A = this chain, B = another copy of it.
Amino acid sequence: MTSAVPPHLELGQAVNEGLTAVEVAMREVTASQVDVLRDASRHILSAGGKRIRPRLLLLSYLALGGADMPHAAKPAAAVELMHTASVVHDDINDHGMLRRGKPAVNAIWGRTFALLTGDFLFTAVYELMAPYGELNIDLAQAATALVEGETLQASAVKNKHFNHEVYGRIIALKTAALFRAASAIGAKLAGAGQQEISVLADFGFNLGLAFQIVDDILDLVADEAILGKTSGIDIVQGRGVAVALGEGNSNGNSPPSDPLDTIKRKMLEGDTVDKARSRADLLVHSAIASLDSLPHTPAKDALIELAQQVISREN
């Protein structure tokens, strides 16, 4: 598993093979005999999504010499399903009705079955990963962090306690931890040494932070139709971006019943968004720089390209 990708096997081909295996693994593990679980899982999975987490895992694996794509695909599928589970539960709590341009699971099947579908996707993660020994520790920690981050966010919204530090903790826990797990698991699967694993883990973590900041910016500026999910839901968290970037401090001082569009308009005034973009740029450049010690390979180039896409994406 530490052998280099055979020269005749183009990187693109390996990645495509891996991503196809990811889709197959996700489809197989969610093929429940219980109709609603199978149907709701397929609905949310077939709605697309960027698959950035499995792509990150597969490229990390390839960059460190991994070549057994089917072996790496299951953990990559588990990481994507973990994200998907949280998305399904998120839409329940936020009353999100659109996700990835399609009706959310709760919009079609109702809250009870959406809750159970999210649970099912969690247990599907567990089933996929169970045979992977110690790698379960990485993903379990990221799973806990994800739930902690979501909870911290819900608490901050409820208590109107958003500031630079809270926003930083939220995005580290709810997004960057899973990105880090993805890249670290990819490196470990490839049989990398501790130093290389650490490099990839840092890369994933910084990329995750940048990804979330860009996501929050897009929520602020994007039109619902373009974004494909109910916009404005993350706006209160979006306010955290402003605070985090020095626009002020909302510790209980923000108007308690500010309508979303008012907040949104306010956020778009001044240089809040520009500052957030600068912060995301910085994180991505830092992530790319952390790869310096790795040998130059097509997979490393692809990781760099992935990082650049995170800040250039428009949805």
Contact, CB under 8 Å: B123 / A143? yes
Q: Quick check: is A77 within 8 A (CB to CB) of the other chain? A: no
Most chain B beta-carbon neighbours within 10 Å: one of A32, A112, A118? A112
Contacts A127-B140, A137-B131 given: A151-B92 contact, CB under 8 Å? no
Contact, CB under 8 Å: B34 / A151? yes
Contact, CB under 8 Å: B126 / A33? no
Interface string of A229-251 (1 = CB under 8 A from B): 00000000000000000000000
Give the nearest-CB partner of A85 in chain B: B119
Q: Quick check: is A129 within 8 A (CB to CB) of the other chain? A: yes
Within 8 A of B (CB), among A24-63: 32-37
Q: Quick check: is A222 within 8 A (CB to CB) of the other chain? A: no
Q: Quick check: is A23 within 8 A (CB to CB) of the other chain? A: no
Interface string of A154-179 (1 = CB under 8 A from B): 11000000000000000000000000
Q: Quick check: is A133 within 8 A (CB to CB) of the other chain? A: yes
Q: Which are the 8 A-B pairs with shortest beta-carbon distances?
A: A130-B136, A126-B140, A123-B143, A123-B144, A127-B140, A130-B137, A130-B140, A93-B112
Within 8 A of B (CB), among A135-151: 136-137, 139-141, 143-144, 146-148, 150-151
Contact, CB under 8 Å: A143 / B126? yes
Q: Quick check: is A152 within 8 A (CB to CB) of the other chain? A: yes
Instruction: Give chain A's interface residues, CB within 8 Å of chain B.
Output: 32-37, 86, 89, 92-93, 111-113, 115-116, 118-120, 122-124, 126-127, 129-131, 133-134, 136-137, 139-141, 143-144, 146-148, 150-152, 154-155
Q: Provide the residues of chain B in CB contact with A119, threshold 8 Å.
A: 86, 89, 118, 122, 147, 150
Contact, CB under 8 Å: A123 / B140? yes
Q: Provide the residues of chain B in CB contact with A136, threshold 8 Å.
A: 126, 129-131, 136
Question: Besides the contacts A119-B150, A122-B122, what 14 more A-B pairs have beta carbons closer than 8 Å?
Answer: A33-B148, A34-B148, A35-B155, A36-B155, A89-B116, A92-B115, A93-B112, A113-B151, A123-B140, A123-B146, A123-B147, A127-B140, A130-B136, A131-B134
Sample (27) of A-B pairs whose CB atoms are under 8 Å apart = A32-B144, A34-B148, A34-B155, A35-B155, A37-B147, A89-B116, A93-B112, A93-B115, A115-B115, A116-B151, A116-B154, A118-B119, A119-B122, A119-B150, A120-B147, A120-B148, A120-B151, A122-B122, A123-B140, A126-B139, A127-B140, A130-B136, A130-B137, A130-B139, A131-B136, A131-B137, A136-B136
Q: Provide the residues of chain B in CB contact with A143, threshold 8 Å.
A: 122-123, 126-127
